[in-house]
Structure 1
Amino acid sequence: MDTTLADQAFDLRNRLEIWANDYYFLPDPKDRASKLPAPLKAEFFIFLSHLSVALMEDEDNFFGYFFFQMGKELDLTLRAPTGVTFRGTKYVLFFQPFLFLEQTPEQMLSSIRHEILHIVFRHLLRARDLRSSYSKLALNLAMDAIVNTYLDPVPADGVTIERINGQYQLYLTPYDTLENYAEQIQHGLEWKEKSQTTTTDQVTDSDKPQFDPAHAHDLWETADASDPQTMVKFTEKYLDEADKGNLPSHLSSAIAAIKSENPALPWDWYLRRMAGTLSCGTKHTTARLSRRQPYRLDLRGELHHYKARILVALDVSGSISDAEFHQAMEEVLHIVQTQRVEITVIECDDQIKKVYHVRSVRDLQERYPYRGGTAFSPVFAYANKHKIDLLIYFTDGQGEERLEVKPGGYKVFWIMSGKGKTLSLLNPPGLIKPLKTKEDITLSELDDPHNDGYSMNNQEPIAFT
């Protein structure tokens, strides 16, 4: 490791200590953070960029490319050198500068790898699922023991199997499951609590930040994990960008497990985001000031003056069942219920059969047993004529190879039935996603505690003799 990084870390740490002598008396860590000089913050992030380059240049550059995609922030309240969480559509890596800079440059890189491995092994989701069964400390120790097995050197104060065994009189062995580790550690914690009145796991009263394994992953509780499928899908996106070559077996197997569990986000996830971008048009009015120039009383403001028009096309050639369509329309109506929209259903096989408006599920009409061929062009011709804002097309995908008319400036969302695999159009406009009904969307894979990636199952290196 380049000694320059060690020198930079030493200098930055000393300057932080000088600042701390003036401001660390503030009781609220957030108040302390607000007093941290901007130049000092900037210098810290420049130092992180040097570490990022070091990770990129490493033979195993997976962590460098993953780290490059993450948000980076400072947090003086952390009880560990680093912490990670998932916010919106991004993983954010937080740094406690005092604890982080106390380490050697090699340990700093291991701290970054440590948090990324927690993500790859899906510990943010597993911790949520296991909170009711084990204490926070038992879970944190178990997860850190798993991750640190793959790191050399281990981050400063890092939890290892050897340390756990010595502290709690256990006999943990490498490459066991997260659940087995947590259960044994829970017994060890209970034994230690009964055998002595004090414990070294608690942070002592001090003005200086200290590592506390019981609170090392408190940031996970702030993660946007209400929709596990969304988190897993965005994790897959990070992994795709970071996978630039050959990976160690524990990484490749964990990545394969993630990709096999969540092949696609549900179609309604995409529809929610498309519906949120619909424009309802405006008209000029003297009742409102101009938003761009509010001091110009001679300029008129704008008001929304019409509802966004959504056209829901249904391929009635026999590809989608009534139950599937009925349930899908319930979801469509639920998604747009708070918006000013006008929804029209159009039934079509090789020509338009029926057109009607809907406000609720009760307005859906019974389909006639059409069994003709399928043509998409009539629907697009109708959409162009009526100047819609969004076309949602339910189909099995079998129809023309080329549209006779081009879509006229509106969004197109193809939703493929379970029977449909591909869309026959050679250059289809818009977004294409598979239809999944509520019965199809389950989290059974995420609830399986023995899947690779959550623990160290099937990740022990194979020894050749």
Structure 2
Amino acid sequence: METSFTNQVQELYAKADLIINDFVQAKRKYGDQAKLSIPPKFEAEFFSLVDQVNLSLMEDGDHFFGYFLLQMSKEIRFDISSPTAVNFKGAKYVIYFNPIIFLNLTLLQMESTIKHEILHIVSLHLIRAKEFKSTHSKTAINMAMNIVVNTFLEDLPPYSVTLKWVNLNYSLQLLPFKTFEYYVEELQTALDLWEADEEASDESDRDEDDDRHNPEASDPQQDGTLATVYDPAKAHDLWEDSNELDPKTLQEFTEHYIAQAQKGSVPHYLESLISSFQSNKGELPWNLYLKRLMGSVESNNKKTVTRRNRRQPHRLDLRGQLRSHKANIIVALDISGSISDQEFNQAVQEVLAIVKNYNHEITIVECDSEIRRVYTIKSTKDIRERINTRGGTRFTPVFEYANEHKVNLLIYFTDGRGEEKLQTLPKGFRTLWVITGRGDALSLEEPYGVVKRLKKVEAKDDSVSMSDVKRDGYSMQDQER
């Protein structure tokens, strides 16, 4: 059967190559009027082979992925820069295949790239990645997501983005078994340093490089109509073509897919991911969201001994650089609300832990219908016993204070019960609302910020214990014999 499968792959690859060559010739002759045509017979034969891959998944005990794939629509696209890709279209998840890249894989690698896409869905990366779009590069986001899902997979294609590959190529020491949010922050810092070095490069070298990579002649394999090699920076571009759905609706669709795919036993790591999905429904905990916001505060470079100098890595006497954030942060506490002293102290401790590596100043503002007290802290020992008042709640005084003192970030702990409209709008700073106690919503019609709930954070839907990693051979993470 293995020989028969290999022969099928080779025959299909030859046909796919012919389809591309015909299109390239038509493109050169007719320009943009040329259309890539996929013969129905080729499509039927290709998806017959995909069905064999799915059957192999089921026989290998990966029933969850097999049943999940059966629910998905399948399409062929020669313009995607990865063997497979996914998005959400027409009330269904769709998995796309680029035959030229996919047919270059072994059977086990084909299985892994399908599992790779499904793990992205189960991890809710399609939703979570959007949280970082405005502040982080597409490359950092894509690599972070791939590090997470590839941790669970073996028999990956040789070009796969793994933790070992990233640490080697970017001279990093990222820790294994961390969350998507951890990796995207660390990778963005590294990419910022690379970009700074590029800007300092010789101008003529950059011009020559631009000439090499942006030829004036139109080549169908370079203009986006065809893709014949893997490009990690574009691996998730199809997500942008997904139907616009609110996160809650997409989560409900995903939950249905997961429920239909859970037939029989599933691996421990998958149980953990599914359990995390069902408990968190993809909502980014408030403290991880705060960490993301810190990444958007204006910064300059600072020296560090923990990273080698990018220009002269062999000179151990030269220090590398990290982003240095100067953050003026207000932590506002609604003292008329239902948050307990213990909850507030724990929350402020989370804030301090997140900003400890930044240049920062934290100011505590206690407010009910008006500001009652303002003081600065450097540690939880500086937190004072809360003033006991029975007044109502107004949010506007805090925003007036924040505008006057030109803060970078406002974190407002409240039960959510206050006015419906702010009388003073925020100017030049981000706002993170944290609903506390028995509160379930913010009374403001327009919050001018992100609203999260105060709850025990379980950030660790992407984590995996050592017992979840196969030890019988080489793992694409950093596990070896």
TM-score of the alignment, normalized to the shorter chain, above 0.5: yes
The 1:178/1:32 distance shift into structure 2, 3 A limit, reads: farther
Structure 2 CA distance, aligned partners of 1:178 and 1:2?
37
Match in the other structure for 2:137: 135
Structure 1 CA distance, aligned partners of 2:31 and 2:265?
42
Match in the other structure for 1:430: none
Determine which of 270, 275, 284 is the counterpart of 1:251.
270
State the structure with more CA Rg. Answer: 1
The 1:96/1:449 distance shift into structure 2, 3 A limit, reads: farther
What amino acid sits opposite 2:237 in the alignment? D
The alpha-carbon deviation at position 194 of structure 1 amounts to 3.3
The alpha-carbon deviation at position 440 of structure 1 amounts to 10
Contact 1:148 1:159 in 2 (8 A): yes
Bigger mean CA offset, 21-30 vs 212-221:
21-30
Residue 467 of structure 2: SS of its match in structure 1? coil
1:134-163 CA deviation, whole Å, 9 max, x = no partner? Answer: 110000001001111111111342111111
The 1:136/1:30 distance shift into structure 2, 3 A limit, reads: farther
The reply to whether residue 61 of structure 1 matches residue 80 of structure 2 is: no
Structure 2 CA distance, aligned partners of 1:15 and 1:213?
26
Structure 2 CA distance, aligned partners of 1:177 and 1:117?
14
Structure 1 residue runs without a partner (length 5+): 264-437
What amino acid sits opposite 1:154 in the alignment? L
Contact 2:140 2:184 in 1 (8 A): yes
Match in the other structure for 1:376: none
Bigger mean CA offset, 124-133 vs 18-27:
18-27
The alpha-carbon deviation at position 3 of structure 1 amounts to 3.3
The alpha-carbon deviation at position 115 of structure 1 amounts to 0.1
CA RMSD of aligned residues (A): 3.5
Structure 2 CA distance, aligned partners of 1:57 and 1:38?
29
What amino acid sits opposite 1:461 in the alignment? S
The 1:226/1:450 distance shift into structure 2, 3 A limit, reads: farther
Q: Map of 1:343-362 to 2, 5 A cutoff?
A: none
What amino acid sits opposite 2:259 in the alignment? D
What amino acid sits opposite 2:248 in the alignment? Q
Contact 1:66 1:242 in 2 (8 A): yes
1:353-378 CA deviation, whole Å, 9 max, x = no partner? Answer: xxxxxxxxxxxxxxxxxxxxxxxxxx
The alpha-carbon deviation at position 29 of structure 1 amounts to 11
Match in the other structure for 2:73: 71
Q: Map of 1:443-462 to 2, 5 A cutoff?
A: 444=452, 451-453=459-461, 456-457=462-463, 459-461=465-467
Determine which of 192, 200, 222 is the counterpart of 2:241.
222
The alpha-carbon deviation at position 30 of structure 1 amounts to 9.5
The 1:9/1:31 distance shift into structure 2, 3 A limit, reads: farther
Determine which of 257, 261, 267 is the counterpart of 1:242.
261
Match in the other structure for 1:386: none
Structure 2 CA distance, aligned partners of 1:97 and 1:204?
26
Contact 1:177 1:450 in 2 (8 A): no
1:266-288 CA deviation, whole Å, 9 max, x = no partner? Answer: xxxxxxxxxxxxxxxxxxxxxxx
The reply to whether residue 260 of structure 1 matches residue 279 of structure 2 is: yes
The 1:100/1:244 distance shift into structure 2, 3 A limit, reads: same
Structure 1 CA distance, aligned partners of 2:142 and 2:42?
31
Contact 2:179 2:460 in 1 (8 A): no
The alpha-carbon deviation at position 105 of structure 1 amounts to 1.4
Residue 136 of structure 2: SS of its match in structure 1? coil
Q: Map of 1:6-405 to 2, 5 A cutoff?
A: 6-25=6-25, 26=27, 34-196=36-198, 207=221, 209-261=228-280
1:380-401 CA deviation, whole Å, 9 max, x = no partner? Answer: xxxxxxxxxxxxxxxxxxxxxx
Structure 1 CA distance, aligned partners of 2:251 and 2:144?
22
The alpha-carbon deviation at position 450 of structure 1 amounts to 5.3
Structure 2 CA distance, aligned partners of 1:31 and 1:259?
48
Structure 2 CA distance, aligned partners of 1:38 and 1:203?
35
Contact 2:23 2:36 in 1 (8 A): no
Match in the other structure for 1:390: none
The alpha-carbon deviation at position 191 of structure 1 amounts to 2.3
1:45-86 CA deviation, whole Å, 9 max, x = no partner? Answer: 111111121112221221111111110001111011110001
Contact 1:29 1:76 in 2 (8 A): no
Contact 2:112 2:154 in 1 (8 A): yes
Contact 2:63 2:266 in 1 (8 A): no
Contact 2:83 2:101 in 1 (8 A): yes
The 1:30/1:77 distance shift into structure 2, 3 A limit, reads: farther
1:174-204 CA deviation, whole Å, 9 max, x = no partner? Answer: 101212111111122222233355799x988
The alignment-based identity, stated in percent, is 36
Contact 1:450 1:457 in 2 (8 A): no
Residue 93 of structure 1: SS of its match in structure 2? strand
Structure 2 CA distance, aligned partners of 1:203 and 1:449?
45
Structure 2 CA distance, aligned partners of 1:82 and 1:250?
22
Bigger mean CA offset, 28-37 vs 13-22:
28-37
1:432-462 CA deviation, whole Å, 9 max, x = no partner? Answer: xxxxxx9499984799995443xx2355537
Structure 2 residue runs without a partner (length 5+): 222-226, 283-439, 444-449, 470-481
Structure 2 CA distance, aligned partners of 1:172 and 1:50?
37
The 1:233/1:22 distance shift into structure 2, 3 A limit, reads: same
Structure 1 CA distance, aligned partners of 2:240 and 2:456?
21
Structure 2 CA distance, aligned partners of 1:95 and 1:445?
39
Structure 1 CA distance, aligned partners of 2:126 and 2:7?
34
